[in-house]
């Protein structure tokens, strides 16, 4: 099973593709989609959409896991991030891909075992699970891989609860 994890943003969208074979997790490709500040938001959203679409077409994930937003104090930033998140979800939906959404608390719980884990703890666990030589940068990339790992760990249980494949 190939999972695409997404850490949404308008300036930086972290992405990470991982393969799950039994209990083994293998990184396939990871990085970020970046848009320039002071560019019209419609242009930035189109760039995110087109880049996410191209990545999905190239790496052909079986499912997409996206981090849910928690309300930010800066409402303008929250709206921008929500719109970027929406265009990524649209790209996945157009390809008929199942979409899972996880809160930051759920990601931390699945990856570290503690919902209030520090960012550094999550990054270290991602590095360990995926046998990486270093923590991916920027942080958005490590966060996206954490979302993918969360989904890889959660999908078996979710499928069992829903009567789907094991």
CA dihedral 59, 85, 116, 106 (to 10 degrees): -60
Catalytic entry in 21, 62, 67, 101 = 67
d(CA 136, CA 142): 5
* Count, residues in the chain: 166
d(CA 154, CA 109): 11
Closest CA to 117 of 141, 146, 137: 146
Helix 119-129, helix 104-112: angle, nearest 10: 50
Q: Is 139 a catalytic residue?
A: no
Catalytic entry in 80, 101, 140, 143 = 140
Closest CA to 120 of 148, 139, 147: 139
d(CA 102, CA 148): 10
Q: Is 7 a catalytic residue?
A: yes
Mind telling me the catalytic residues?
7, 67, 140
């Amino acid at each position: 099973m190939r999972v695409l994890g997404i850490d949404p943003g308008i300036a930086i969208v972290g992405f990470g593709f991982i393969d799950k074979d039994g209990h083994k997790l293998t990184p396939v490709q990871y990085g970020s989609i970046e848009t320039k500040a002071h560019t019209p938001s419609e242009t930035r959203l189109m760039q995110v959409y087109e880049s996410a679409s191209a990545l999905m077409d190239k790496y052909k994930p079986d499912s997409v896991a996206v981090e849910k937003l928690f309300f930010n104090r800066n409402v303008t930033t929250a709206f921008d991030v929500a719109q970027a998140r929406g265009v990524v979800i649209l790209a996945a939906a157009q390809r008929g891909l199942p979409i899972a959404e996880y809160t930051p608390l759920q990601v931390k719980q699945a990856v570290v075992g503690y919902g209030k884990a520090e960012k550094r703890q999550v990054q270290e666990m991602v590095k360990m699970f995926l046998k990486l030589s270093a923590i991916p940068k920027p942080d958005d990339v490590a966060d996206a891989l954490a979302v993918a790992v969360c989904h890889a760990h959660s999908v078996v249980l979710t499928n069992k609860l829903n009567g789907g494949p094991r």
